[in-house]
């Protein structure tokens, strides 16, 4: 049951980023008292228990290079573990709920390289079996594992209860994230034997967004220090910069997020590409090459001339495919300043997680556009090479594309590149990647 009539947002994927971004924007809306958040973690219950124990209020520390700015955040009114699936489904179906938002990371959507739901993914297959068995009366929705499965089941319950329109807002770093989660939900429901197309077309809006705020995972020592200093076990540290661009309709209403600086646009694509390619793409390059060169944090890697050159080469190519009105030069300079903040300990190992899927979304599109334009895509190809090298030599796991790498070995060429490209890569890209791998294999970390 919802905490109050104002608890109109149900969030899936409670973590540091959602608390520095969605909760921040919601609290700063002029109508914040009318929009409260019920938040569910991924699977663990530790954060939910910590927040509930302190009334769901926590401190957000905006960490600039010179000083901190501290603000209490209280827009979350209930925090629950993701394992409480039955309650999550009930909250999504509740007519008071107007928005369902998600921050679950790209990999958690279980999409293929073409952006469609991977029905063979073990957790998706598990959830499909659970839903089918629920219909037969021999299983419970509480056994669901994936965000897609939980959301689809919640929407099915909402349809059954005739609870009215709702908006789904994905806040994950994927191109066309609203459309992708819509297609994933429809594919899941269809595979489970239920057609949601007509009802969703009439009652559900899927909003696409571009989100931006560096929010590092805290180390154990700093977490303990901040806990003592602020009497808060759920402190979040983020950079001062924040951005949120949204495209889509809110048929059941929304908070006035624009009061906190959010932008509502008719065409998200260029904003999305700027952020995914320039910020997220650079992060993936810095994480991969930085780890190979012995760095720990982003601010260390960006001060390394080799890492900076790799980022700038990729940026030069990406900039050719972005409109002038986005002021890419100024955005690039701002990113360098943000990356260089020594008081933000953004760990490369954290960024490198799921770098196979991240490279496909953040780097591959630039390479493909450069090749289509008749150029060699050398900057993007070298960026792909450092991702491959981090996987080969730096111990960075590829949980999604790993099996395809094994299969690609029989195809000839660089199997990791074959998996990233979704087939044979152009010869000029393969050549650059091969040469770069020869050089990267000589780095001390690579030699192990």
Domain that holds residue 276: 270-447
Last residue of a domain, one of 240, 266, 292: 266
Q: Are 214 and 281 members of one domain?
A: no
* Tally of domains in the chain: 2
190 domain residue, yes or no: yes
DSSP 421-432: HTSPPPHHHHHH
Q: Are 250 and 344 members of one domain?
A: no
Helices (H) and strands (E) in the chain, counts: 22, 11
Expressed in percent and rounded to 5, the helix, strand and coil fractions of the chain are 55, 15, 35
Residues β-bridged to residue 68: 63
Q: Are 262 and 352 members of one domain?
A: no
**DSSP one-letter code for 137:** T
User: Residue 30 maps to which CATH number?
Assistant: 3.40.50.720
CA–CA separation, 352 vs 432, rounded Å?
22
CA–CA separation, 421 vs 281, rounded Å?
16
Last residue of a domain, one of 232, 266, 300: 266
Identify whether the C-beta of residue 197 lies closer than 8 Å to the C-beta of residue 234: no
Q: Are 213 and 345 members of one domain?
A: no
Q: Are 85 and 130 members of one domain?
A: yes
Last residue of a domain, one of 216, 251, 266: 266
pLDDT the model gives residue 195: 86
| Angle formed at CA 199 by CA 195 and CA 203, multiple of 5 degrees | 150
Identify whether the C-beta of residue 232 lies closer than 8 Å to the C-beta of residue 9: no
256 domain residue, yes or no: yes
The Cα-based distances of 34 to 75, 84, 330, 341 in angstroms read 10, 25, 37, 36
pLDDT tens for the chain, 448 residues long, are: 345 788 999 999 999 999 999 999 999 999 999 999 999 998 789 999 999 999 999 999 999 999 999 999 999 999 999 999 999 999 999 999 999 999 999 999 999 888 899 999 999 999 999 998 887 765 567 889 999 999 999 999 999 999 999 999 999 999 999 999 999 999 999 999 888 999 999 999 999 999 999 999 999 999 999 999 999 999 999 999 999 999 999 999 999 999 999 999 999 999 999 999 999 999 999 999 999 999 999 999 999 999 999 999 999 999 999 999 999 999 999 999 999 999 999 999 999 999 999 999 999 999 999 999 999 999 999 999 999 999 999 999 999 888 888 765 556 689 999 999 988 999 999 999 999 999 998 887 665 5
User: Residue 390 maps to which CATH number?
Assistant: 1.10.1040.10
């Amino acid at each position: 049951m919802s905490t109050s009539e104002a608890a109109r947002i149900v969030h899936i994927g409670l973590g540091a980023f959602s608390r520095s971004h969605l909760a921040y924007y919601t609290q700063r809306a002029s109508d914040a008292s009318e929009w409260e958040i019920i938040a569910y973690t991924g699977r663990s219950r530790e954060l939910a228990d910590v927040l509930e124990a302190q009334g769901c209020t926590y401190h957000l520390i905006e960490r600039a290079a010179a000083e901190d700015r501290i603000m209490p955040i209280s827009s979350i009114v209930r925090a629950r573990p993701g394992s409480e699936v039955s309650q999550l489904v009930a909250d999504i179906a509740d007519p008071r709920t107007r928005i369902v938002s998600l921050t679950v990371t790209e990999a958690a959507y279980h999409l293929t390289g073409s952006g469609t739901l991977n029905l063979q993914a073990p957790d998706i297959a598990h959830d499909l079996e659970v839903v089918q068995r629920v219909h037969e009366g021999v299983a419970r929705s509480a056994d669901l594992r994936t965000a897609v499965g939980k959301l689809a089941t919640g929407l099915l319950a909402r349809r059954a209860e005739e609870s009215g329109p709702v908006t789904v807002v994905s806040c994950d770093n994927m191109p066309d994230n609203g459309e992708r989660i819509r297609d994933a939900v429809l594919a899941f429901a269809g595979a489970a034997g239920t057609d949601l197309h007509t009802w969703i077309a009439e009652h559900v809006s899927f909003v696409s967004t571009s989100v931006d705020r560096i929010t590092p995972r805290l180390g154990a020592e700093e977490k303990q220090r901040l806990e003592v200093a602020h009497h808060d076990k759920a402190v979040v540290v983020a950079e001062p910069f924040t951005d949120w661009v949204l495209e889509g309709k809110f048929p059941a209403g929304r908070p006035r997020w624009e009061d906190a600086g959010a932008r509502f646009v008719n065409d998200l694509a260029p904003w999305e590409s700027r952020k995914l390619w320039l910020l997220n793409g650079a992060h993936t390059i810095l994480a991969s090459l930085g780890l190979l060169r012995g760095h720990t944090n982003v601010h260390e890697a960006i001060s390394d001339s080799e890492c900076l050159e790799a980022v700038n080469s990729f940026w030069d190519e990406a900039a050719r495919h972005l409109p002038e009105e986005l002021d890419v030069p100024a955005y690039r300079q701002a990113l360098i300043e943000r990356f260089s903040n020594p008081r933000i300990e953004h760990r490369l190992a954290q960024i490198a997680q799921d770098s196979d899927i991240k490279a496909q979304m953040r780097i591959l599109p630039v390479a493909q556009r450069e090749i289509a334009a008749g150029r060699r895509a050398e900057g993007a190809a070298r960026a792909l090479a450092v991702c491959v090298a981090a996987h080969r030599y730096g111990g960075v796991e590829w949980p999604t594309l790993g099996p395809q790498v094994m299969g690609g070995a029989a195809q000839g060429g660089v199997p990791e590149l074959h998996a990233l490209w979704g087939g044979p890569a152009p010869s000029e890209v393969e050549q650059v990647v091969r040469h770069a791998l020869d050089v990267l294999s000589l780095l001390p970390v690579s030699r192990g």
